[in-house]
Structure 1
């Protein structure tokens, strides 16, 4: 681990009587003095602009480790590399002096497994994935390597946040990551409270909340001064049209390109609409994919048909 270590934390046991009355959970002192070990990954590769902007935006008092793909892995979803070995290259002083980084010849999920289980020795407090070059909204999520990197960390018991910046608008020459880095500066002081670092075990801050944070954050591609605000919204739907394009190669053989056109009318009240309207979207995600309404209907149908016991 590099030289960017954590400083001592002032916990609830150190509070004086005045603070105990005005700040019973120690949140004020915690926000000033709690420093985290942040593990960073992405799907655009270790040397992409987005991940470097993310690491550069993290204040120096935090410890940072980076495990990211050696090459772009966009749209790899939650895929693993299982039939060939992975190669790892160590990079010292990545973006900041003292930041340890590793490039991995695999997917974002490979990176998280290697990082959390093997490469990073110091305890990780939270995982950041991104900043992705392009938004991850609605139906994008199952395909996204950025979201899957954060998802793998969440499945492994670590709080995680995926960050993405929308594709450039017409006439915009590139990506402006300033809305995400601005959001990160606002979000960082709240993270210890959200994930329960050094919180007393009360109903509000219980062990059940530890590790339960999984957020998908998307920002419009514009200067931060043009951002209208932040919206906490559910995941929407964004079904692409013309997903397959047929063509021929130089020999006349048929070939196909996978892609698609973004639908012109987004779903209102969701992450898709929020970013289109100029807001940063924050969407809490989870693990459980069960459709509980259909589950109940199927259980009732099974009982009526004599297929399942009535006591189920």
Structure 2
């Protein structure tokens, strides 16, 4: 890191008052000049959604008076927060964007649904080194203390080394006491899927409605995956790319009679 403080954009999908982002902000304040642009309400599962057919509001707020960061509460999605933060609020392109700390896992296939990771991906598409952090604890009372040292280490290494072009990091942290976390593993995304179920109910007026439920199925037995790492007490880091081209399939499809 240079002597000049890095400019860090912090966002999330659980909302600007969520305990996870408040913990992340405290760490970032020790590392750089911090701007927070985060949703004014929970936006979990929004993926890479953006607001096109509605107005966007972004208001400066002061959640914790004793903290030095500048904060803005946005009516939009996590991706909206990054777009408006980078293009309207920050005085220059940030040196780093961090998203989270999410309450709950974003490992395996969950990465494509995640508002947390989509915010990081959006920053990555704009050439900003970016990391999404998630703790495997969905509770509003989740304890982030055991993982904070590791979060700081990962961010420092990113600031020192930079990020490979076209890559953002998907970091998932196990719900374990500090002394039970075995270390950090660089992984691939596990081949998992959701077996969806819908809980069908009826309103008092007789109209059907549904709650999406389901079960996550990990079909990958590899010991180099994020799911394996997390199940075995490690923090997983998956380098995630946003070029969705299936390069390995180009040759095969070129052989089609098109």
TM-score (norm 1): 0.76
Task: Please say if 1:276 is aligned against 2:231.
Answer: yes
- Decide whether the 8 Å contact of 1:93 with 1:99 is kept in 2: no
Report the counterpart of residue 127 of structure 1 in structure 2: 97
What are the superposed Cα offsets for residues 164-203 of structure 1, whole Å, 9 maximum, x if unpaired? 00136xxx8942223441212222332233218xxxxxxx
Is the contact between residue 78 and residue 149 of structure 1 (CA under 8 Å) also seen in structure 2? yes
Task: Classify the secondary structure of the residue corresponding to 1:285.
Answer: strand
Aligned pair 1:228/2:182, yes or no? yes
Distance in 1 of aligned mates of 2:79 and 2:221: 29
Offset of 1:94 from its aligned partner? 4.4
1:241 aligned to 191, 195, 198, which one? 195
**For residue 250 of structure 2, what is the aligned residue in structure 1?**
295
The equivalent of 1:158 in structure 2 is 128
Relative to 1, partners in 2 of residues 1:96 and 1:151: Cα closer, same or farther, differing over 3 Å?
farther
**Partners of 1:104 and 1:192 in 2: how far apart?**
27
| Alignment correspondent of 1:175 | 142
CA gap of 1:273–1:191, structure 2 versus 1, over 3 A, is same
The DSSP-based 3-state class of the residue aligned with 2:195 is coil
Q: Which position in structure 2 is the counterpart of 1:51?
A: 21
Is 1:186 aligned to residue 153 of structure 2? yes
In structure 1, list runs of 5 or more residues that go unmatched: 1-29, 197-208, 308-312
The residue number in structure 1 matching 2:46 is 76
1:49 shift after superposition: 0.4
- CA offsets, 1:48-105, max 9 Å, x none? 0000011112253510100000000000000011111111110247475321000000
- Considering fraction of residues, name the structure with more strand: 2
Q: Does the CA contact (< 8 Å) of 2:86 and 2:92 recur in 1?
A: no
State the secondary structure of the residue aligned to 1:239.
Answer: strand
- Residue segments in structure 2 that go unaligned for 5+ positions in a row: none
Deviation at 1:226, TM superposition (A): 1.6
Higher relative contact order (CA 8 A, sep 6+): 2
Work out which of the residue numbers 42, 56, 60 in structure 1 matches 2:12. 42
- 2:227 is paired with a residue whose SS is helix
